Amino acid sequence: MVACRAIGILSRFSAFRILRSRGYICRNFTGSSALLTRTHINYGVKGDVAVVRINSPNSKVNTLSKELHSEFSEVMNEIWASDQIRSAVLISSKPGCFIAGADINMLAACKTLQEVTQLSQEAQRIVEKLEKSTKPIVAAINGSCLGGGLEVGVPAALDMMLTGRSIRADRAKKMGLVDQLVEPLGPGLKPPEERTIEYLEEVAITFAKGLADKKISPKRDKGLVEKLTAYAMTIPFVRQQVYKKVEEKVRKQTKGLYPAPLKIIDVVKTGIEQGSDAGYLCESQKFGELVMTKESKALMGLYHGQVLCKKNKFGAPQKDVKHLAILGAGLMGAGIAQVSVDKGLKTILKDATLTALDRGQQQVFKGLNDKVKKKALTSFERDSIFSNLTGQLDYQGFEKADMVIEAVFEDLSLKHRVLKEVEAVIPDHCIFASNTSALPISEIAAVSKRPEKVIGMHYFSPVDKMQLLEIITTEKTSKDTSASAVAVGLKQGKVIIVVKDGPGFYTTRCLAPMMSEVIRILQEGVDPKKLDSLTTSFGFPVGAATLVDEVGVDVAKHVAEDLGKVFGERFGGGNPELLTQMVSKGFLGRKSGKGFYIYQEGVKRKDLNSDMDSILASLKLPPKSEVSSDEDIQFRLVTRFVNEAVMCLQEGILATPAEGDIGAVFGLGFPPCLGGPFRFVDLYGAQKIVDRLKKYEAAYGKQFTPCQLLADHANSPNKKFYQ
Amino acid sequence: MTILTYPFKNLPTASKWALRFSIRPLSCSSQLRAAPAVQTKTKKTLAKPNIRNVVVVDGVRTPFLLSGTSYKDLMPHDLARAALTGLLHRTSVPKEVVDYIIFGTVIQEVKTSNVAREAALGAGFSDKTPAHTVTMACISANQAMTTGVGLIASGQCDVIVAGGVELMSDVPIRHSRKMRKLMLDLNKAKSMGQRLSLISKFRFNFLAPELPAVSEFSTSETMGHSADRLAAAFAVSRLEQDEYALRSHSLAKKAQDEGLLSDVVPFKVPVTKDNGIRPSSLEQMAKLKPAFIKPYGTVTAANSSFLTDGASAMLIMAEEKALAMGYKPKAYLRDFMYVSQDPKDQLLLGPTYATPKVLEKAGLTMNDIDAFEFHEAFSGQILANFKAMDSDWFAENYMGRKTKVGLPPLEKFNNWGGSLSLGHPFGATGCRLVMAAANRLRKEGGQYGLVAACAAGGQGHAMIVEAYPK
């Protein structure tokens, strides 16, 4: 998403005003005269102020589309031509959204670089005209204003352009992006959102009038720091240093995998060094180049996938879940509790011991308190949210629960015991969800009196940061149960994929063969640090060895054993003995302070755990030189992952490739620039992947045998996962 | 409840403004002058079987003064004592028959946290009469009165003194938490070494003082800011607000000049009357800049209530006790109601919520009410409440009612001025509202008065006052 948004934001050193506001009451506006109806934009005139309202039809957000562009320039030309109009206000009719950025569909529809460049130039022309407008223009922004939307009047801040991060309104004011803030209104004579927009418009109109009458000056007072910075930037040497520094930082952060940020720097550089015309030209060309890249296609694909996975395809459940109970106050249980209470769900957190319960409650509190420190919550809101949580050791109150999520230890007999205990106390309509990463849900449901109410909800750790939720349905799970689980997940702010039951479901199953390969690579003598750098430079956010430490060596061992039993040779490769030995020595990863690395509280630097040397030495395998280049190592990992993902689609575990891509990227950190395993096959080419697999198959055997579906795609180049 | 809202830095502006206008001649706008509707209706009384009738024998208050003026060197219990002695003087009640004393206050002087007791002892009440202090923001005195009503109705007491006090000329400004901690630790330190090591931890920024909160604790929003947003939500214009404030000041001035504010007892010469009444002109008021939401807000110093010092006290009795003692009571205290709602967006809508509930409870309608006495925190707040009460949409969507509450007729509304003009000592306003309603019913004729107020925390109160038959 990062790059996607960032490309829309271009360097502009404009000086007009924008407001994020909502309302002042000016009573007597003279009647609006011209009211032409267009589809995206309509405008009316109040007194001598033109009010331009942006409202893309049939969409929750306004995006910069071709139609909007043309209507906008039409309207603006009328405004500039009119003698009656002395100033203008730009405002969105949609609550919570000004302009979200360029229309992704419009960009995706472009076949050539020239088309995109042309689009970009058209947009530039409008913005340039806005900048040079002789009549004051006030942008009244309510809610998200990103990408091209922001260009409508913002002296670009470099940091924001590069990361595409969102800024809160009060910060925007401090940064000088906006001139005035308007606070949201509460209920009055109309719904609050509606009245707030009206109010915003009213305030904006008074400002526009004030600007036109020269009662308000559009100049902002610059602070000392700002003045100094501005001065420093006039010295070429300083500028060069700044470019260098920024470029270095960007290269480090993106590892050269995302082309957009570097191009943005180029554009800014051109703009400053060679003047704005050259800057605009450079901008539109680079923008065109970027839209045509594979990365752009991959990221746009992810965007569409994410939109899809934010919908409940089962429809609305019969009964809303209002009371939630969570069993097990461990890392997962407490994490699930945190994302539930802050959405207003009354949540019971139950554990067997007071110590574990207390730790879990502390975790929830800390999660909320961190938001207070970042000023995302007030301490009062934190307390009030925290009051939604009840910690307890018994089953009191479970008779009111609408859903129970168990997050106890991954042990089938324990899960069975818990299920039976819970079913004795919960009401008939209550859903039993199991948060397991590998145990088949149908096996857990085997002891249930009502298997139609049993479902899997696989969260990812840390729950408050990881967006994915994998929901697992069995043959017997009812549609309403699924609808409820998805509804709860959406409420918790998750991106959701729904998969069929099976060992390891989708995500764990894809990860397992890759992990097996990780072990083999380590056994072949590749240093964990080197392995980490190979994986991160391929685009994974976390290195493979670090990932094992983060997940927990014991968990990895558990999964490897369980899935190894079911899938046999295909999941082989590395020797699971490595994990067994690590567990027996207490090297459980981050949680025990030692794994492949050593972890110390407060120490950021990671040192290798030298005690691992003897273990690795005892299990050493001779590397095969024909498949051990850096690139081969990367591809051995990725192709096993991709092959298993495609197999999941082939077997019907996955319903759609889109869900597979979202699951892999949001849950397992599959490189976003590649768009997910299925998009990767489409963009990289199935044939090339199959060739790779066959090469490794020759060296290692069946673990690398391409699955049928992948082979089919390789055989007929027209076959694509995304048409 | 208004002053809490003023950031302290605004005070000089507000008082300068006040001074400028206090010397202006009175300009009473005639169209706003309320026509006194003398009615002699006889309606049912609201007495309830098996519940004792509670009556107000009489009530008094000190003049309400702009803070920082003549009361500035007093302590709160001094003002409260003045109200109590005034009440003793006015009613000649023997001190020993008073069973209990209750006072409301908001910003507490830490030395006299039970200000009711300190004031009672100083006013010469029997040391055998217990006293307690209550706090409920701007409806603290209302709470003091209704607590008394409860004690009488339940047969625990026969004679109660209820009142309230606020002295905004002085507020507790504390050392910072760090400094307090250091001082407390020093207290406990046993050796010189320990003391020195503690003192070495002192940093200059420990000396930064901590002011009393001017904003709502739960939302961190000042009340003036909330009032401005409320006015905007209900589309109340600046002009409407200024007009309403002007009405309040004009009516207060008229009532003062005609000697209608009979509940005021002189504090001491020359402090004999309220000093915040300052009728001005709309043109002058229009010049003021917004005080909270700058630069485009609508709430200004001129259309808000000001920081006030003052105290009030009331003698409440069981009806049979009052009659046995030979009193002619002024009014009955009838049904009352407390409400609360969202402290962010509906902070000041208490009257809208409380009014229909108390009317229903008493079996009355808006038309039965002859005297409305609503607390005026801000013009914008009163007008927003009016618009809310007049809106079917609001009633349906936020109050769970099928139809709107209905608008109180302006000619019966705060006819002798209100908190905007008379002033608003937080803890004392409730008693002033009830006495205004009782005195108006006697003067203007009519049987029922309705008192309503909003308070910080999103709370509200309403009470029915019934005139005692002449």
Which chain B residues have a beta carbon less than 8 Å from that of A192? 233, 345
Task: Name the residue among A182, A185, A380 with its Cβ closest to that of B233.
Answer: A185
Which chain A residues have a beta carbon less than 8 Å from that of B225? 183
- pLDDT of A149 > 60? The answer is no
* B271/A contact by beta carbon, under 8 A: no
What pLDDT is stored for residue A168 in this prediction?
60
* Weakest-pLDDT range from A5-14, A327-336, A570-579: A5-14
B186-200: average pLDDT: 91
Taking CB atoms and an 8 Å limit, are A183 and B229 in contact across chains?
A: yes
What pLDDT is stored for residue A171 in this prediction?
63
- pLDDT of B24 > 70? The answer is no
User: What are the tokens at A145?
Assistant: 């204003």
> What distance in Å separates the CA atoms of residue B116 and residue B81, rounded to the nearest whole number?
9
Higher pLDDT, B140 or A125: B140
Closest CA to B254 of B414, B120, B408, B437: B414
Taking CB atoms and an 8 Å limit, are B296 and A203 in contact across chains?
A: yes
B402-409: average pLDDT: 95
Taking CB atoms and an 8 Å limit, are A189 and B384 in contact across chains?
A: no
What pLDDT is stored for residue A30 in this prediction?
30
DSSP B330-346: -EEEEEEEEEE--TTTS
DSSP B331-397: EEEEEEEEEE--TTTSTT-HHHHHHHHHHHHHT--GGGEEEEEE--SBHHHHHHHHHHHT-HHHHHH
Distances (CA, A) of A378 to A65, A182, A345, A382, B5: 38, 19, 19, 6, 19
- pLDDT of B181 > 90? The answer is yes
What pLDDT is stored for residue A220 in this prediction?
56
Residue type, A43: Y
Grade residue B8 by pLDDT with cuts at 50, 70 and 90: very low
* Triad A510, A515, A517: Cα angle to 5°: 110
Residue A347 has φ and ψ, to the nearest 5°, of -130, 130
B225 → chain A, closest CA residue? A183
Residue type, B299: V
- pLDDT of A548 > 70? The answer is yes
Order of strands across the sheet with A180-181? A41-46, A49-54, A87-92, A137-140, A17-20, A180-181
Residue type, A338: Q
Higher pLDDT, A417 or A576: A417
- CA A113, A114, A116, A120 torsion-angle sign: positive
In sequence order, which residues have a C-beta less than 8 Å from that of residue A369 and are 6 or more positions away?
A382
Q: What is the ipTM of this complex?
A: 0.83
What residues does B448 pair with on adjacent strands?
A: B369, B466
> What distance in Å separates the CA atoms of residue A248 and residue A242, rounded to the nearest whole number?
10
What pLDDT is stored for residue A167 in this prediction?
54
Task: Name the residue among A26, A189, A378 with its Cβ closest to that of B393.
Answer: A189
pLDDT above 70 coverage of chain B, percent: 91
Q: Exposed/middle/buried for A25, CB within 10 Å: 0-12, 13-18, 19+?
A: buried
What residues does A45 pair with on adjacent strands?
A: A50
Place of tokens 């694909």: A301
User: What are the tokens at B285?
Assistant: 């008021």
Higher pLDDT, B42 or B190: B190
* Weakest-pLDDT range from A277-286, A366-375, A444-453, B84-93: A277-286
User: What are the tokens at B365?
Assistant: 């309608």
State chain B's maximal CA–CA distance in angstroms.
81
Taking CB atoms and an 8 Å limit, are A23 and B298 in contact across chains?
A: no
> What distance in Å separates the CA atoms of residue A495 and residue A666, rounded to the nearest whole number?
8
Task: Name the residue among B218, B394, B397 with its Cβ closest to that of A380.
Answer: B218
Q: What is the dihedral of CA A355, A357, A361, A364, to 10 degrees?
A: 110
What pLDDT is stored for residue A169 in this prediction?
61
- pLDDT of B165 > 90? The answer is yes
What pLDDT is stored for residue A62 in this prediction?
78
Question: Which one of A189, A197, A205, A372 makes the best mutation probe of the B interface by having the most chain B beta carbons within 10 Å?
Answer: A189
What pLDDT is stored for residue A294 in this prediction?
80
Higher pLDDT, A297 or A36: A297
Taking CB atoms and an 8 Å limit, are B233 and A188 in contact across chains?
A: yes
B144-165: average pLDDT: 97
What pLDDT is stored for residue B36 in this prediction?
44
Q: Which of A151, A470, A517, A659 is catalytic?
A: A470
What residues does B165 pair with on adjacent strands?
A: B311
The 3-state DSSP class for residue A404 equals: strand
Task: Name the residue among A23, A25, A187 with its Cβ closest to that of B346.
Answer: A187
* Highest mean predicted confidence (pLDDT) among A32-41, A475-484, B210-219: A475-484
A29-46: average pLDDT: 60
Task: Name the residue among B220, B230, B393 with its Cβ closest to that of A378.
Answer: B220
Taking CB atoms and an 8 Å limit, are A206 and B296 in contact across chains?
A: yes
Average pLDDT over chain A reads 82
In sequence order, which residues have a C-beta less than 8 Å from that of residue B403 and are 6 or more positions away?
B392, B395
Query: For residues A100 and A149, is the Cβ–Cβ distance under 8 A?
Result: yes
B297 → chain A, closest CA residue? A24
DSSP A171-226: HHHHHTS-SEE-PPP--SSS-HHHHHHHHHHHHHHHHHHHHHTTSS--PPPPPHHH
Higher pLDDT, A486 or A437: A486
- pLDDT of B106 > 70? The answer is yes
What pLDDT is stored for residue A124 in this prediction?
77
Minimal Cα–Cα distance from A94 to chain B, Å? 18
Minimal Cα–Cα distance from B150 to chain A, Å? 32
User: What are the tokens at A466?
Assistant: 């990881």
The continuous run of DSSP H or E covering B256 comes out as helix B238-257
Which tens digits make up the pLDDT trace of A68-116? 888 888 888 888 888 888 888 888 887 777 777 777 777 777 778 888 8
> What distance in Å separates the CA atoms of residue A556 and residue B107, rounded to the nearest whole number?
61
Which tens digits make up the pLDDT trace of A391-404? 999 999 999 999 99
Around Cβ A192, how many Cβ atoms within 10 Å?
17
What pLDDT is stored for residue B346 in this prediction?
95
Residue A525 has φ and ψ, to the nearest 5°, of 100, 10
Pairing relationship of beta strands A87-92 and A137-140 according to DSSP bridges: parallel
A516-543: average pLDDT: 91
Which chain B residues have a beta carbon less than 8 Å from that of A188? 230, 232-235, 384, 387-388, 394
* B389/A contact by beta carbon, under 8 A: no
